[in-house]
Amino acid sequence: MNSRKLLSETRRTFPATKVHCQQPSRILIVDVTSPSWTNTCSVLSEALENTLCLACSLTGPCRVPLLSLYVVQNQQECLLPFTQVKENFARIQACISELRSLPREGCFPQRGNGVVQAVQDGLQQFKQYSRHTAAGGSTNGSVEIAILTSQSSKEMVKQLEKKLKDVDLVSLRRIQVIEVLKRDFLEPEDVEQCMPAEEPSSNDVAILGMDIDVQTMEDNVISLEMLFKTWLHDYGTEREHLHLLLPSGGFSHATAPKTPLMCLKCDLQERLLDPALLSGAVDGTMRAADLNSPCQMAAWPATVLYKLRVVKALKSEGVCESVLYGLPFIIKPTSCWQLDWDELEINQHSFHALCHSLLKRKWMLLARREPQNTSPNWNIMVHSYYIIVPSDSATLLVKAVASRELLLPSTFPALLAEHPERVHGPIESALNSLEVEVAYNPLHLKSNLYKYLKSTLYKPLHRPRDQRPERHQPKQHQSRAKATVAPLLMAPSPVQVLRPAAARRDSCERSLPSKE
């Protein structure tokens, strides 16, 4: 709690200006001195490529505006200077291919300063980039750093504490230190146990006025993919997303219509990515949700403050799923930094109390969406309704529910009490042959969406005709040349070492003892 309070107070030093993109830029630092780099390399590359193909395909403001990638070998090296993710998937793929081609186990000794130097260099690069782009009207002013390492996370934090004391950290929002553990096999049902926590836990460390989030993770594709997918969430904390309005006098029928309302301030979070937001939709006709529609809510981008007024309580067993529609959203207590700390704390406790009481009573809530403003955009106000469902966690689920106008007539014939044995036997046999699982786990299913999106995004990097003679260069050198073309004023800093991949592999091979 203290670490979050320190962070909140630190962020209040910034002016509350309206920003174009509140998503932080990303620096990924990969420590390849790990003894298990052989396995980590392949799963990390696949997880990173899968996530970034989604980021490049989603319509609307880019959820990962800028990305930079460092590797730490015997010294740090910048494989990808800050690059805009949208429209640059080919360049990102070239960088990931370079990552895959790095030498494997045993090539590099573990040294403690490489990661810290990469952090310092990345912050300097971001500072230079921000100065240049500020003239063009860009307001992307914060960065988060993720460090993947097999070293002890506690030792890594100590190094960061010691080395970053004199470094300008104004633009740094958070550092994640992810200790990747080697495991030869992981059952699918165990995957969720090693997913990254979306909210900082007791492993958070508060130093220098910002968060260091320490996590431990298995080195498998799904775990790392879920880590990178947290980048796709909305990180804007300028204001809350949703006001949940409850009658202060309870749910009694005798409650007067104009009873003062209790307001819980909440944030919305996507549970699923909306397929309509994927620019590479299979049929090519999908489009993003219309934020002005009275019958839709959207958690991304969070540009609208929604108000849901609770009008009734419902028994949980009395809601038919056939009348629910649209994508579900997660409701959480807000983390808006503009609220006072005491207000945030009271709001959070009230939210938890609501979740607990709904579970105890086995209730759901029926809520009506209030109009956004009083301007007569609609001559007649159209109301939409939502069901709010409690869960065992400190979150609520909200989903749109049909009203009278949307409902179509349906007839449900009664189920026959008896049926001929000649049909009963084959049906029972078919059902008995099915594998039965206790619960549905979406991590068990693949739709080939990643492959499809990569194929639609694939655009081979090419050179202008006047540079064609460069094709005679070794392939390794060409790959590095493509991956290190920096934006304006983004020349590599003096501490970076940029060498052709072939030279690096030769040097690595010379460092290995002879088998003779």
For the CA atoms of 149, 155, 157, 161, what is the dihedral angle to 10 degrees? Answer: -130
* Helix segments in 334-432, DSSP class H: 341-361, 421-432
Provide the residue type at 172 as one letter: L
* Mean pLDDT confidence for 19-32: 82
Kindly report which listed range (21-30, 179-188, 416-425) carries the lowest average pLDDT score. 179-188
* Mean pLDDT confidence for 8-20: 34
* Mean pLDDT confidence for 202-230: 79
Structure tokens given for 199: 């909210």
Residue 415 has pLDDT above 80, yes or no: yes
* Mean pLDDT confidence for 215-225: 92
Kindly report which listed range (9-23, 292-306, 385-399) carries the lowest average pLDDT score. 9-23
Residue 13 has pLDDT above 50, yes or no: no
Provide the residue type at 54 as one letter: L
pTM: 0.76
Contact between 86 and 62 under an 8 Å Cβ cutoff? The reply is yes
Using 50, 70 and 90 to split pLDDT, how confident is the model at 492? very low
* Mean pLDDT confidence for 123-147: 80
Using 50, 70 and 90 to split pLDDT, how confident is the model at 412? confident
Using 50, 70 and 90 to split pLDDT, how confident is the model at 168? confident
Using 50, 70 and 90 to split pLDDT, how confident is the model at 43? very high
> Residue 150: what pLDDT?
84
Tell me the angle at which helices 89-100 and 449-457 cross, rounded to the nearest 10 degrees: 110
* Mean pLDDT confidence for 176-205: 55
Kindly report which listed range (62-76, 78-92, 139-153, 430-444) carries the lowest average pLDDT score. 139-153
Residue 132 has pLDDT above 70, yes or no: yes
**Rounded Cα–Cα distance for residues 135 and 30 (Å):** 32
Per-residue pLDDT tens over the stretch 257-286: 555 689 999 999 999 999 988 865 444 444
* Mean pLDDT confidence for 231-255: 78
Angle at CA of residue 136, ends 131 and 142, nearest 5°: 50
* Helix segments in 23-174, DSSP class H: 37-57, 89-100, 113-134, 153-163
Residue with tokens 């799963």: 43
Following DSSP, what letter does each residue of 428-444 receive, concatenated?
HHHHHTS---SS--GGG
CA distances from 343 to 243, 335, 338, 369 (A): 14, 11, 10, 24
**Rounded Cα–Cα distance for residues 265 and 262 (Å):** 10
Query: 348: which residues sit within 8 A by CB, 6+ positions away?
Result: 333
Share of the chain above pLDDT 70, in %: 69
Kindly report which listed range (225-229, 387-391, 401-405, 512-516) carries the lowest average pLDDT score. 512-516
> Residue 105: what pLDDT?
56
- The pLDDT mean for the chain works out to 77
If you ran DSSP here, which 8-state letter would residue 149 be given?
E
Structure tokens given for 124: 């300097």
* Mean pLDDT confidence for 493-500: 40
Parse the chain into domains and list their residue ranges: 25-184+207-232, 297-372+382-406
**Top-tier CATH class for 25-184+207-232:** alpha beta
**Rounded Cα–Cα distance for residues 368 and 404 (Å):** 14
> Residue 507: what pLDDT?
44
* Mean pLDDT confidence for 483-498: 38
